[in-house]
Structure 1
Amino acid sequence: MKKILIAVDYHPTSEKVAETGYKLAQQVGAEVCLIHVIAETRYYGVEYPSFLGHTSYNYNFAMDERVNTQIENMAKDFLEQAALHLDNKVTTKLIKGETASSILKYANEWQADLIVMGTHSHSVLEKLLMGTEAMKVLEKTQIPVFMVPVKK
């Protein structure tokens, strides 16, 4: 095992995921890359439809390049700080897109030997309707996945 890709997000449990994955990498002498995926930036904004012909509520933050840049800069800073928390040799990858498919695509490109992810607790209804990103990765991966339990 030479390369371990660790997926992190803004959830506080990502610290445990990153530290657990990094510890594993140290034990086997593997290179580490932290990956964070920014969902489509239009999901960070508010898009109200017109209501009874009134369009003043139509505002799409995705159209404002400053907001996109700010979101990306915050994510870059988050990743850089997370990497430095572990080791200055840890690399990072920031991707915009759908989370599970982006993780899988980059894992293949980077030739990762293992993907490390955390399990977040979601409501039963949310899991039923949307699934979880971890489940989507598990269903489609060709690369082994190490799941870090983070539920208290």
Structure 2
Amino acid sequence: REGLTFPAMPMDGGQPNYFTINGRAYPSTDTIRMKVGETLKVRFIGTNNGFIHPMHIHGGPFEIVARDGETVPESARFLADTVNVGPGQRYDVVWQARRPGKWLIHCHIGHHTTNNNVEEKGGGGLMVVIDVQP
């Protein structure tokens, strides 16, 4: 098939293979618009589908501020650029817009950023664009 970019990974029952953020797969996800210096709180929630999603944000590290509904004490917080979100897990992270540009939030598993194993407009699935203006 034209446009096929990754080997097909059959899902249970032969269902289409789509991963979503807020119920949408990229490029239908909403672009987040920010200005330099603003902060963004992101809640990563792992669904019970058996996958671990290494979620990554471009444009600088984020701080993990809560895990599974429990606030991480200030003394235990750390900066990361990727967090592995397993089934049933939840991470709250805070990311600061450090410089202008278009930055991605995405999963680091290749077929999780395609739609039924096909890229649309440069990706798919678990991807969101952050558009940071000066």
Shorter chain as denominator, the TM-score bin is under 0.3
TM-score using structure 1 length? 0.22
Bigger proportion of residues as strand: 2
The structure having more radius of gyration, on CA atoms, is 1
TM-score using structure 2 length? 0.24
Higher relative contact order (CA 8 A, sep 6+): 2
